[in-house]
Every structure is written in C-alpha cells, then in structure tokens.
Amino acid sequence: MFNVTRKSIQWGEETLTLESGKVARQADGSVIATLGDTSVMANVTFAKQAKPGQDFFPLTVHYQEKYYAAGKIPGGFFKREARPSEKETLTSRLIDRPCRPLFVEGFKHEVLVMCTVLSHDLVNEPDVVAMIAASAALTISGVPFMGPIAAARVGFTNGGYVLNPDVEDMQNLRNNPDQRLDLVIAGTKEAVMMVESEAYELTEEEMLGAVKFGHDAMQPVIDMILDFAEDCAKEPFNFSPPDYSDLYARVKAAGETQMRAAFAIRDKQERTTAISDAVAAIKGALNEEDLANSNLGSAIKKLESSILRGDVVKNGTRIDGRDTKTVRAINCETGILPRTHGSALFTRGETQGLVVTTLGTGEDEQIIDALHGNSRSNFLLHYNFPPYSVGEVGRVGSPGRREIGHGKLAWRALQAVLPAATDFPYTIRLVSEITESNGSSSMASVCGGSLAMMDAGVPLKAPVAGVAMGLILEEDGSYAVLTDILGDEDHLGDMDFKVAGTANGITSLQMDIKIAGITPAIMEQALAQAKDGRMHILGEMAKALTSAQAFSQYAPKIETMQIPTDKIREVIGSGGKVIREIVETSGAKVDINDDGIIKIASSDAAAIKRAYDMIYSIVAEPEEGRVYTGKVVKLVDFGAFVNFFGKRDGLVHVSQIANKRLTHPNEILKEGQEVKVKLLGFDDRGKVRLGMKMVDQETGEEVVEKKEESSEA
C-alpha cells in the first residue's frame, strides 16, 4: 500500500531521519523530518500553470505548531490553534528566505509550502527541522528548485561553538550567562543563503566563525537530502525559463536614457516620480503585444537593475552620490514627547523612526503560551510601518509578517544590553513608529530604541547601533559591498545584511541573499564595513545624550523586597484576600513571584511605603524589647489584648498597664484605643507578653518607674 523511502544519519548528538511515501501522498512533495523525538511534516504543492499576467513569484510558506505535538491543549476559550503566533510567523520567514532565491528565474507558478510540527520532545527546536523538511519536500516535488538547502542552529559557550543546542539552553538567552549566541543559518552546499541571530557582544571574528561552523555542520544534511531524492524524487516539472531578450532590447531602447536620468536624481521622492515617468514612457513606446507580455515587469526591473548596479561597481558611486562606505547624515533627538516615559527621534538620511519607551510593572509582562510551556517576557518591542512613511496610500491593519520580523530583529539587537530584572524590575515596552523610510528602518528602530530607553532612565549596559549592508555582485565576479543601503539598493541588489551591536561587539546579525549565496571573503568585508559604520553611528548617537537622563516623573516607581518563600501564602491570604486588602489600602500595585520577590509599584512614594509596611508587618517577626504602636482589640478581667504587629496580638497584663493598681483594665483603656506597648517577651507557650507602663504614651519613649526615680533622688 505504501512505497516508503526512509534515510537516517547521525547529526551532532541526535539522529536525523527523513521519510516520505506514507503520509500526504497527493501532495507534490511530502517529507517528515525527525530530529530526536521532534518531528515536522512538510508538504509542497505547486500550480502546473501560471496565472495569466502573473508578473511575480507567488511563494507562500506556512509553519504551524500543533499543541498536541507537546501533549498540550491550547489556552483560551476556543481551545484550538488560531492565528499564527509570533514564533510561527518568524519561522515561516526563516523557511521562505533561503528557499525563494533558489527557484529558477522566471518561474511564476504558485507554490505552497506547509510545515506542521507533529511531535516536540522539548529538547530539539522544530524550526531547523522544519527548514530541512521543507527543503527535502521541495527537492523531491519536481518543482524547478535549485536546492537543496540545509539549516543548523549554532550556540557559543566557553569560547566554543555548539551544534543545535537544547531548547532549554536557548530559552531566555539573557538569563543564561553560559550561552552567548543563538544563530540559525541556512545555505546550499556551496554558500550561505540566510543568517538570523542574537548574540552577546561577540566579535566580528567570532560571528564569522559561527557562520562557517554552521555551514560546515549542515553539509551531511545536504548530502542526505540528495541521497534521499535519488530514491523518491518525482520527474522534474517541464519548465523552461522564458526568453525575453527581444522584449528587453525594446524596453532598453525605449527608456534607458530617461531611466538613467531618473536614477541620477538624489532626492528619493523626485527620483521615484521620475522613475515612474520613465516606466510610463517605456510602456507608451511599446506595442499591445509587448504590453500584454507577462515578462514586461521583469524586463523593466532588469533595466533598472543594470543602471543602478553598473554605476556602483564600475565607478563606486551610488544613486545618492555617496561612495560605498559612507553613512548618510544622522540626526538624533531625545525627550521630544512630554508625557511619555522616554522618547527619541532617529533620522538617517530619508529613514526616520520615532521610538517611545513605556515602563510598566510585573502585571504588564507578556505571557507567552508555547509548545515548550508558558513563559513571561518583560521586554517588548513593536514595530509599525504605515503607508505614509514611503509616501503611499495603503491599507492599515494588524501587523504583517514584515512588521513582526523587523520588530523581532530590533528586539534581538537590544535585549543583550538590558539590565537584569533584579536590578531594574520594570517591564519595558518599545514602540517604533517608522515615519519615513528609505532603507533599513529596522536598524533605525535599533538606534532609536537604544536612545529612547536611555532617555527613560533605563540603565543599559551600553548603547546599541545598527547598520544595513548591501551587495552588488556581477557575473564576472566583480562586486561592491555597500554601507547603509537605500531602498532601491535593497530592491535591486543581491544582499540585505544587517548588523547591530555595541562598541564591544555584535548583538544581532541578519542576512538575506537573493542570489545563490556569498563567499566568506564577501561576508568578512561586509562585517568589517559594518563595524566602521556602527562605530560612526554610535558616535552620532552619543551627541544626543550628553548627561545622565532623569527617571520620568510619569513612570511608576518600583521597590523590591525579598520575603521567605514560606511567607508567600500569608501575604496572599486565602483566595487573595490579604494582598487585595494591601493593594486597596495602600493604592500601590503588588506583584509576588514564586521565589519570594515582591515588587511594589506606584507613582506615589507614600503608597509604596504603606504597602511595604503592611507586607513587612506580615512577614517580619516582632523583636523583644522594641516599642510598637497597637490597638486594643479586647478587654478582659486580667488585662488587654492589643493588636500590635500586623495580625499579631499580645496580652498586656493588668499589672503592666499603669504604675498603679487597677481593678479592671477598663479603668484606663477602651476597645479600639491606640496605645504604645513594649514587647516584653514570650511565655512558655509562645504567647506574646506586652507592657504599657514603661512607655510614654505620647512620645513612645521608654520611661523609668517613678519609685525608682524617687529612690535615686
């Protein structure tokens, strides 16, 4: 019934297995990849005909984490997987980015790649397994895909690289001092296609070493996929790249002069308008057959690309007049919004980000429901890219994959320099509003985010800056690496290489390649130029913060206290009764974690003190010999019971109330009366003994009995 193909290799500490032929047999390619006990199924289907007039490559990648894979039931009311999580969106992008450039040029048939996590052992991350499964499924599907690719995760511990570190090692990297890198790399046998990472101030040499280590480590996987495909691959789809050389010649003749003049304009808006006019002129000069040709868009883009790329490689001059290494003019401002906790406006050329910091309490932490369990995050970064930032009219809705990906890249760059939660017990939310864009708004978010947090008084370990690098690689092998790329250079170039970090090292690196990979020499040059650019930007940022920033008066103040874990229940009370009373009485927010760390937050210092004192009275033990202020709660024949320390009551014996003989305590005291008492000690049963007669009831100071005073006299 089944014609199963199965291959396995030992990869690092685990066995990697590929299997096809049993499940999803109607898909063009279906592979289940398993590493340890983590399994991901990848299914590939593609349209056998392109849609009429299709002028782009419609590749769609969906990565799905099914909660049953880890033996969990989803949270929420509906109890089923709903919209993609941030992790699923980011992993979909991880799969898409290295695969997309490897489809044969001109192939415009719709392709769908669906990766589903079937089993998760909570040890091996499924994202790398999904990339391998997708590559294998594409390779055997018959689609014109010039792969395979493979992927690997690289860690860096004690000066050495680690292949595919455990999930536990990579979770919350900020709190794991032994692990300094989380890098995912993908590539072909010959070259690297994609890198995504967060790091803790690694040097350029260490990052380059991690890339080389990962590329070497994935070679057995590529060989395995090729061996696997020999046994089960379908016949290649009959597709020949379209020849539109005649069309291109007519496009070039009709518009090269006007297009070249358009690219010579240095202002982005004017240049964009001039390019649109040149495109319109080209279309006006073509016949109806050429206008109906689905390759017209490709021909026009090829003309634009040849003009931009040729001038850069031959003359070293870019469309805005810069050389290959110069960063555009930078302007940094902080504290521009009066009521926010921290704000900054970072402008680099025609790219601008307005970044705002908001400080919150433990209640504001994000609760993340994931396959490996629930976790909490106290650092959030949200990136918004409205249509007006590029002078366009467009639909505004919920964040798309691009916004989520750019926000996560900036998050990775900044999280390495955040203070420890014990030193700065705030939840930090950054929002980056991109108000102008012409190249690398994610790196503007990094720079602006660093400034906005420092403006809010967040004690960062060091400021962080980021820069985007580009590449123009010609067929003859000549190339140019570009610092601080423009939007057109990203669109028409061969590489988007983003590097962020401090003066001491790299905190994040992301690379996307639009060609069949780059060499280590090109990457080394890109890292070196990026370091120079980063240092220049850090110098410009330093001008905006010439003195220590004051903590915003509008931000909540937080005080922490540590209590014994066996006292947590007393502070919370039955059903939360005690802590609710503390919050209502004091006016402060109170958060308690399982380690006994309590965070008390309020914009009112007096409210924090009230809550602190109330908690202290519950968890602290009364000290013998100290004077306390209490309240009479009950009068009996032999004395008065006084509530003097939180919920703690003690007895003031009738003989200890006054320096005279009393028949009954009600001769002096009444219930509800406030009194000053001294803790005399504890009896054999642990009961508290209190005294009043030795304490001045007005001042609370101890006094000497009168008879002693007279005898001394």
pLDDT digit string, tens, across residues 261-288: 998 888 888 888 999 999 999 999 999 8
pLDDT in tens, 679-692: 998 887 778 899 99
Residue of higher predicted confidence among 310 and 562:
562
Distance CA 46, CA 365 (A): 42
Q: Are residues 483 and 568 in the same domain?
A: no
Kindly give, in sequence order, each residue whose CB lies less than 8 Å from that of residue 580, ignoring residues fewer than 6 positions away. Answer: 573
At 578, which CATH number? 3.30.1370.10
Give percent above pLDDT 70 in the chain: 97
**Residue 677 confidence (pLDDT):** 92
Which residues on neighbouring strands pair with residue 6, listed in sequence order? 19
Six-digit token string for 254: 């009709």
Is pLDDT at 253 greater than 70 in this prediction? yes
> According to the model, what pLDDT value does residue 421 have?
82
In terms of domains, do 31 and 143 share one? yes
Q: Which of 68-72, 137-141, 704-708 has the lowest mean pLDDT?
A: 704-708
**Is the domain of 261 the same as that of 221?**
no
The answer to whether residue 635 sits within a structural domain is: yes
Rounded to whole angstroms, the Cα distance separating 319 from 304 reads 12
Higher pLDDT, residue 20 or 391 = 20
Q: Per-residue confidence at 305, pLDDT binned at 50, 70, 90?
A: confident
Has residue 707 been placed in a domain? yes
Residue 711 has pLDDT above 70, yes or no: no
What mean pLDDT, rounded, does the chain reach? 90
Check pLDDT > 70 for residue 709. no
Taking residues 485-490, what's their average pLDDT?
A: 87
Same domain, 645 and 514: no
Residue 119 is given by DSSP the state: E
Q: Do residues 72 and 177 both lie within one domain?
A: yes
> Nearest Cα to 508, choosing from 417, 410, 432, 442?
410
What's the whole-number mean pLDDT along residues 562-569? 90
Q: Is residue 504's pLDDT more than 60? A: yes
Q: How confident is the model at residue 172 (pLDDT cuts 50, 70, 90)?
A: low
Whether 569 and 683 share a structural domain: no
- Is the pLDDT at 245 greater than 60, yes or no? yes
Asked whether residue 551 is domain-assigned, the answer is: no
With 50 as the cut, is the pLDDT of residue 648 above it? Answer: yes
Q: Kindly state whether residue 239 falls inside one of the protein's structural domains.
A: no
Banded pLDDT at 209 (limits 50, 70, 90): very high
Whether residue 308 is found in the same domain as residue 337: no
Which residue is it, tokens 């069309």?
A: 247
Residue 320 located in a structural domain? no
SS3 sequence of 533-545 = HHHHHHHHHHCCC
Alpha-carbon Rg for the chain, nearest whole angstrom, is 34
Mean pLDDT (whole number) for 480-501: 89
pLDDT, position 631: 92
Q: Are residues 564 and 522 in the same domain?
A: no
- pLDDT average, residue stretch 208-213: 95
Give the pTM: 0.85
Confidence of residue 353 (pLDDT cuts 50, 70, 90): very high
Instruction: State the average pLDDT over residues 618-634.
Output: 87
Alpha carbons within 13 A on the beta-carbon side of 339: 0
Give the pLDDT band of residue 707 (cuts 50, 70, 90).
very low
> pLDDT (tens digit, 9 = 90+) per residue, 33-91?
999 999 999 999 999 999 987 888 999 999 999 999 999 998 878 888 888 999 999 99
pLDDT at 70: 93
Length of the chain: 713
380 and 466 co-located in one domain: yes
- On the question of pLDDT at 587 being above 70, the answer is yes
* Residues contacting 402, CB < 8 A, separation 6+: 385
**Is 593 domain-assigned?**
yes
Count CB neighbours of 303 within 10 A: 21
Give the model's pLDDT for residue 713: 36
Last residue of a domain, one of 602, 619, 636: 619
Q: Rounded CA gap, 636 and 25, in Å?
A: 87
pLDDT band per the 50, 70, 90 thresholds, residue 705: low
Which of 195-209, 213-227, 438-452, 659-673 is least confident? 659-673
Between CA 438 and CA 334, with CA 414 as vertex, the angle to 5 degrees is 65
pLDDT in the model for residue 704: 67
Here the tokens at position 18 are: 């590929």
Q: CA angle 319-325-329, nearest 5°?
A: 70
Query: For the packed helices 268-285 and 296-315, what is the interaxial angle rounded to 10 degrees?
Result: 130
Identify the domain boundary among 566, 590, 619. Answer: 619
Least confident of 27-31, 353-357, 447-451, 664-668: 664-668
Q: What was the pLDDT predicted at 339? A: 92
668: helix, strand or coil: coil
Q: Is there a domain that residue 110 lies in?
A: yes
Does residue 448 sit within a domain? yes
User: Which pLDDT does position 517 carry in this prediction?
Assistant: 65
Q: What is the pLDDT of residue 173?
A: 67
257 with 183, same domain: the answer is no
pLDDT at 712 (0 to 100): 42
Per-residue pLDDT band for 392 (boundaries 50, 70, 90) equals confident
Enclosing domain of residue 564 = 557-619
Beta strand 366-370 pairing with 373-377: antiparallel
Q: Report the CATH number at residue 659.
A: 2.40.50.140
22: pLDDT strictly greater than 80? yes
The predicted model gives 627-650 an average pLDDT of 89
DSSP line for 150-180: EEEEEEEETTEEEES--HHHHTTGGG-TT--
Given a cut of 70, whether residue 124 has pLDDT beyond it is yes
Buried/exposed code over 223-252 (b: 16+ C-beta within 10 A; e: otherwise):
ebbeebbeebbeeebebeeeebeebbebbb
Question: What mean pLDDT comes out for the span 300-314?
Answer: 84
pLDDT band at 620 (very low <50, low <70, confident <90, very high): confident
Q: Are residue 33 and residue 163 in the same domain, yes or no?
A: yes
CATH of the domain at 517: 3.30.230.70
Number of structural domains in the chain: 5
Report the C-alpha gap between 306 and 246 in whole angstroms. 16
The rounded percent of the chain whose pLDDT value lies above 90 is 60
Considering the domain architecture, whether residues 91 and 136 belong to the same structural domain is answered as yes
Q: What mean pLDDT comes out for the span 647-670?
A: 89
Mean pLDDT over 444-455 rounds to 96
